[in-house]
């Protein structure tokens, strides 16, 4: 599971920052403001995503949640299927 980057704590859990380029590209296509330098993307499980799995744009320095770009999912596997389909 070397592709996973786990950061636990009060912010929740952040996974799959290796998909950052895909997340940022999808956010840019959706016209979300504030996406660009200083941001990254990842799969999160946190209070701001209502303790569901969600692909989101994050601040690169603090990993703070900026924008959700996907629906919220009950499982990480569902979120993985969504990003695979959305990236095509």
Q: Which residues contact 54 (CB under 8 A, 6 or more apart)?
A: 43, 44, 45, 68, 70, 71, 72, 73, 79
- The pLDDT assigned to 13 comes to 60
DSSP 8-state class, residue 73:
B
The domain limits of the chain are 13-86
Average pLDDT, the chain: 79
The pTM (predicted TM-score) of the whole model is 0.78
Q: Where are the alpha helices (DSSP H) in the chain?
A: 20-29, 76-86
- The pLDDT assigned to 17 comes to 63
- The pLDDT assigned to 72 comes to 96
- pLDDT, tens digit (0-9, with 9 covering 90-100), for 44-85: 888 888 889 999 988 888 888 888 999 999 998 999 899 988
- With H, G, I as helix, E, B as strand and everything else as coil, classify residue 20: helix
- The pLDDT assigned to 53 comes to 92
């Amino acid at each position: 599971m070397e592709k996973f980057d786990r950061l636990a704590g009060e912010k929740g859990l952040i996974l799959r920052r290796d998909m950052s380029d895909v997340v940022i590209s999808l956010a840019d296509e959706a016209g979300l403001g504030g996406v660009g330098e200083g941001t990254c993307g990842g799969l999160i499980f946190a209070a701001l995503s209502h303790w569901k799995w969600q692909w989101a744009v994050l601040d690169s320095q603090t990993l703070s949640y900026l924008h959700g770009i996907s629906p919220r999912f009950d499982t990480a596997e569902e979120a993985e299927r969504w990003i695979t389909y959305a990236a095509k």
